[in-house]
Amino acid sequence: MNNFNQKSLIIFDWDGTLMDSVGLIVDAMRYAAEKHGLTVTDDATKSIIGIALVDAFPMLFPNDSDKYDELLATYSEYYVKHCDNDKLFDGIKELIQDLHAQGKTLAIATGKKRKGLERVLPNSGIEAFFTTTKTADETAGKPNPLMLEQILAETDKTLEDAVMIGDSIHDMRMAKNINMDSIAVSYGCEKADVLAKENPTLIVDSVEQLKLSLF
């Protein structure tokens, strides 16, 4: 049995792990693609959640590099306009509060840009509980483990102290690349069978199961 309750550093992905934003990301990408005469499936968009858009566009639209700037602008415009519908998953706020009350060090490692994270984090009600946050435009994007290495250095923690929690294969690969324990959540962008192929330390299907694994 994994003793995650002994971990002193808990690192969270943002989209699809803490915030219920997968639907909005899918809608924004579909809107941007259609506006510029392109097509993208919902599953394809879900597969890139967690990585920086600058890395995602070549995967989604490999033959349309001339449209990347326009796609980014349209995607961002749609996301900002509708992000009031973005919200934390039920039980996340209480989970973060409880972890903080237990003296855990909390961090965020996200594929968002700093501007994007600052748009949603202050209104989430949990910003004050995080010691540090890392975004893809300020460090290397996932699955490069630089975010995790920087968080460990800033918090003066070891690999054994930490666990990475995320909903995408990119989160799991990032943790694997540094040999950090990981918890995959299947209530976000990827199903459990897809996440299982990345060999996370644990897979949970709900926020309640996540809480049980950490306490």
Q: What is the rounded radius of gyration, in angstroms, for the C-alpha atoms of the chain? A: 17
Structure tokens at 165: 């929690």
Please say if the pLDDT value at position 111 is more than 60. yes
Distances (CA, A) of 166 to 12, 148, 202: 6, 13, 11
Of the chain, the percentage scoring pLDDT greater than 70 comes to: 98
pLDDT at 52: 87
Structure confidence at residue 85 (pLDDT):
58
Phi, psi of 165, rounded to the nearest 5 degrees: -120, 125
Digit-coded pLDDT (tens) for 68-110? 999 999 999 998 888 865 699 999 999 999 999 999 999 999 9
Phi, psi of 107 (to 5 degrees): -145, 160
3-state secondary structure of 9: strand
pLDDT, one tens digit per residue, over 26-79 is 999 999 999 999 999 999 999 999 888 889 999 999 999 999 999 999 999 998
Distance CA 198, CA 18 (A): 20
What is the mean pLDDT of the segment spanning 154-162? 97
Show the DSSP H helices in 6-63 as ranges: 22-35, 42-48, 53-60
Copy the structure tokens of residue 39.
């097509």
Cα angle 194, 196, 202 (rounded to 5 degrees) comes to: 135
